[in-house]
Structure 1
Amino acid sequence: MKFTLHNLRMIRARLRQNGWVLAELFLVFIVMWFLCDSLGCLKYTYYRPLGFDIEHVYQLELVMGGESRDTSLTNADKFLGVLKKLQQEPTVEAVALCYWSLPMSGNNSFNSLVAQDSCWVNARLIMTTGGYVDVFRMKDDPRHPFREMASGEKHVMLSEATVERFRRKIPSFSSDMPLGNGDSLTVISHEGMIENFRTYRYGNDAACFFYRLDEHMVKTEYSGEWGSIVFRVKAAADGADYRAKFVREIAARLDTDNLFIADATPYTQQQYQFEVMNGDIDKVNSQSVVVLFLLVNVFLGLIGTFWFRTRRRRSEIALRMAMGSTRRQVFGLLAGEGLLLLTLVALPAMLVCYNIGIAEFTIGRTELIATWPVKWSIPRFLLGSLGAWLMIAWMVLTGIWFPARQAMKIEPAEALHEE
């Protein structure tokens, strides 16, 4: 306590000289909070679990060419033929046929369902066979697995994000509550829930309606449509050469009529391609360059300020050492004063930062703060503030340590003579 009071007296005695330092620290804290918040949200978004697994997952690249040998076969028949043959491959763990439903593909379809005739929720449609959840290892209710859900448009399984949307409007919403599509005669059974997942790395938790397709529905509803087939390879069978081996040895066995297998693309490659096409990679790179540029400028400016400030106090350092202070005590005094200056400006600067965040999320949601899909909250604000304080504290101590160390090497008499 005495140490803090002594430093406060020193700051007050030099209030005129410390005024510009306090002003600089105030502005630097706000900038550093923005940098820490941006970097923290970026890292959190990047490393946050997707909610599904794309390792060992491949998507078939299909080509339709030449005349059909059996004109009675529809596109659905051919896709189902490929699906059945793929299921019999010993290296394959799970397969799925779907329509406009793959994550990170850009092909989407949406619809709305209603609860209690007034609560509408819009979400993406996932129209797929039962193996979809197993291919991507999504987490459904083991008591009501998706693969065993009744097929057709009168049975639906909701993603957790969709359930949360309904519950925000109807707090009592549960799986027992029937849904509808606006037609008073149609009742859609809510069969369960699939835990939260994101359809791509920089997205929010996805709101989806899952419908299971059986063979009859594929043939009657999607006979002329072009589907997508994905499959999961057993981990022991997968490897760097699996793709080439698949094309060389397996693809020919899967060909059905004039539907041919051209390739099997790893889904990790599909993820990267989608992020490039969606602009996420450019967005991340641009954000990183801006943050790095600001960070370097703040680092150099702040270190320079405290370097210059400490060098001007060489005579004070020499006098303290002449009066019996040790190097550790002198450095502790200077460092304590610098950290106290930072702490004094941190509280008003945090107030400004908090109001910036509140304004961004309640008024405009501009690119300044709401860049990443991370919910604005008190923990997010406090973590950003703590990160800013620690970063600036490190810069302050670095700016003090080296010139103070140099000043302590000079004989006290020499320093006082120069003064």
Structure 2
Amino acid sequence: MIRHLFTLMWNRKRANGLLVLEIFLAFVVLFAVGSTGVYLWSNYRAPLGFEYEHVWEIDMNPGNQPRAEQYATLQRVLARLRATPGVVTASRSVDNTPFAFSNNTTEYTAGANNPKVYGDIYDAGPELRDVLGLRLVAGRWFDRRDEAAGHRRPIIITELAQAKLFPGGESALGKAIHSTSEGDKDKEYEVVGVTGPYRAGGELSEPQPGYFSYVSPQDTARALFDLLVRVQPGSGAALEKRLQDDIRTTSGGWASSIVSLPEQRLTQLKLLLTLPIVLGVVCVFLLVNVALGLFGVLWLNINQRRSELGVRRALGASGAAISGQVLGEILVLTTFGLVLGLVVAAQFPLLGVLDVKPGVYLAAMGLAAVGLYALAAGCALYPSQLAARIQPAVALREE
């Protein structure tokens, strides 16, 4: 039976070649969309590592105030905010706050024989842990002891950073790490704590190593005009207006804007999902065209082979056998197109394209293969049933 199928397909190699090409292109489209979907879904399932509900970001602009006066003004603003009813706590930060479409990256190493680990760096004060509900895995968070730090500056790293800095599985607590980035090169830091994951880039971002650099409450070198404020549940427009008025009054005219992290998260998700949704719509459109093409070719093929199929029925072939023949032919052609597509798709995990984990591409290849077979079987189902209903006497008389 299989040999007979291959013989029949070889006799129509030109038409079947076009079908194989169409199936190959359909696989490429499914693989591309599947890779994007699997990548985003795997990222979405990973924990964020912080609590964004009831947290507001306040972006302040000191205007033309002399820099020498900005730190003192900022301290007055912070004291006023922390004393405001409805505010739980507040922390200084920079612009790479959660969901802010901003990042600050750096590179550290634990020694000449250890790897250099690239990751995100965040300025953090003693209050940031309470503001974002960060989870410590080992060690401690920043406190007053860090005010008297010696030549080793305190730093807190994430579990992922620890695993990459110390591949042997040893603890990073108390160990020294060195910066290899320009502007901070060869500075030595002591790891005082290890946190769980922290993905300020949001649910769709790939987990990256993270580093928290200590910002002392008395640090006048960096004004850090971004604040993260945890507020009481249920706080709304009234508290927001009061905070803006307090900032303007206490600072002598600083401008400010307030946005909640949940709102910022939704804005980020809408923007980041725009391209995948467009790709999905294009994929559906292309697959509908492929399905119509396969269905039309099979319909025409059966009408042109009515006499052949009628002879087979006259020789004793059952309707199920005829239906199986038509379905088998399209599945074999699908396999040819699939093999070509797998050869191309296999290059992505082998070459490490876009630094995506091989498992993402492998899962996308599996999903694309299943989707392709389901598409081919669905398109061949009705034509194969029509072929099974052919009556030998009618088909031979038409011939």
**TM-score (normalizing by structure 1):** 0.73
Q: Identity over aligned residues, as a percent?
A: 18
1:282-328 per-position Cα deviation (integer Å, ceiling 9, x unaligned) = 64455445534543443333333333323333334445555665544
Residue equivalent to 2:199: 198
Please say if 1:402 is aligned against 2:388: no
Aligned to 1:98, which of 56, 75, 93? 93
Tell me if structure 2 keeps the 8 A contact 1:166–1:173.
no
- In the TM superposition, residue 210 of structure 1 has moved relative to its aligned partner by 0.4
Residue equivalent to 1:179: 177
Residue equivalent to 2:124: 128
- In the TM superposition, residue 126 of structure 1 has moved relative to its aligned partner by 1.0
Alpha-carbon separation, structure 1, partners of 2:102 and 2:363: 37
1:6-47 per-position Cα deviation (integer Å, ceiling 9, x unaligned) = 2x1222331423534653454345433432332223223434
Tell me if structure 2 keeps the 8 A contact 1:97–1:228.
yes
The farther-off stretch of 75-84 and 323-332 is 323-332
Aligned to 1:51, which of 32, 48, 51? 48
Please say if 1:358 is aligned against 2:353: no
Alpha-carbon separation, structure 1, partners of 2:28 and 2:292: 18
Q: 1:402 to 1:171 in 2, by over 3 A?
A: same
Letter in 2 for 1:140: L
Q: Secondary structure at the match of 2:236?
A: helix
- In the TM superposition, residue 274 of structure 1 has moved relative to its aligned partner by 5.5
Please say if 1:246 is aligned against 2:245: no
Q: 1:298 to 1:167 in 2, by over 3 A?
A: farther
Q: 1:391 to 1:295 in 2, by over 3 A?
A: same
Aligned to 1:301, which of 293, 296, 302? 293
Tell me if structure 1 keeps the 8 A contact 2:27–2:368.
yes
- In the TM superposition, residue 156 of structure 1 has moved relative to its aligned partner by 0.4
Q: 1:396 to 1:176 in 2, by over 3 A?
A: same
Please say if 1:390 is aligned against 2:370: yes
Tell me if structure 2 keeps the 8 A contact 1:247–1:262.
no
Aligned pairs for 1:19-418 (under 5 A) are 19-20=13-14, 23-24=17-18, 26-47=20-41, 48=44, 49=46, 51-52=48-49, 53-62=51-60, 74-86=72-84, 89=86, 92=87, 95-116=90-111, 120-141=116-137, 143-146=138-141, 150-151=145-146, 154-167=153-166, 174-181=172-179, 187-201=188-202, 202-217=204-219, 220-222=220-222, 225-233=223-231, 237-238=233-234, 242-248=235-241, 252=245, 256-258=250-252, 264-271=258-265, 280=272, 283-284=275-276, 287-288=279-280, 290-321=282-313, 327-344=319-336, 346-347=338-339, 349-355=341-347, 357-359=349-351, 361=352, 365=353, 370=354, 374-375=356-357, 377=358, 379-409=359-389, 411-418=391-398
Number of aligned residues: 383
Alpha-carbon separation, structure 1, partners of 2:80 and 2:240: 14
Letter in 2 for 1:156: I
1:116-135 per-position Cα deviation (integer Å, ceiling 9, x unaligned) = 35755454331122343444
**TM-score (normalizing by structure 2):** 0.76
Tell me if structure 2 keeps the 8 A contact 1:11–1:18.
no
Alpha-carbon separation, structure 2, partners of 1:124 and 1:159: 10
Letter in 1 for 2:327: A
Alignment gaps of 5+ in structure 1: 1-5
Q: 1:273 to 1:349 in 2, by over 3 A?
A: closer
Tell me if structure 2 keeps the 8 A contact 1:302–1:399.
yes
Tell me if structure 2 keeps the 8 A contact 1:140–1:194.
yes
Letter in 1 for 2:122: I
Alpha-carbon separation, structure 2, partners of 1:407 and 1:117: 72
- In the TM superposition, residue 192 of structure 1 has moved relative to its aligned partner by 2.7
Tell me if structure 2 keeps the 8 A contact 1:310–1:400.
no
Tell me if structure 1 keeps the 8 A contact 2:104–2:120.
yes
Alpha-carbon separation, structure 1, partners of 2:186 and 2:391: 95
Tell me if structure 2 keeps the 8 A contact 1:108–1:124.
yes
Tell me if structure 1 keeps the 8 A contact 2:299–2:383.
yes
- In the TM superposition, residue 227 of structure 1 has moved relative to its aligned partner by 1.8
Q: 1:146 to 1:56 in 2, by over 3 A?
A: same
Alpha-carbon separation, structure 2, partners of 1:79 and 1:117: 44
Alpha-carbon separation, structure 2, partners of 1:374 and 1:181: 26
- In the TM superposition, residue 331 of structure 1 has moved relative to its aligned partner by 2.3
Alpha-carbon separation, structure 2, partners of 1:67 and 1:156: 32
Alpha-carbon separation, structure 2, partners of 1:207 and 1:189: 16
- RMSD of equivalent CA atoms: 4.0
Tell me if structure 2 keeps the 8 A contact 1:133–1:146.
yes
Tell me if structure 1 keeps the 8 A contact 2:117–2:165.
yes
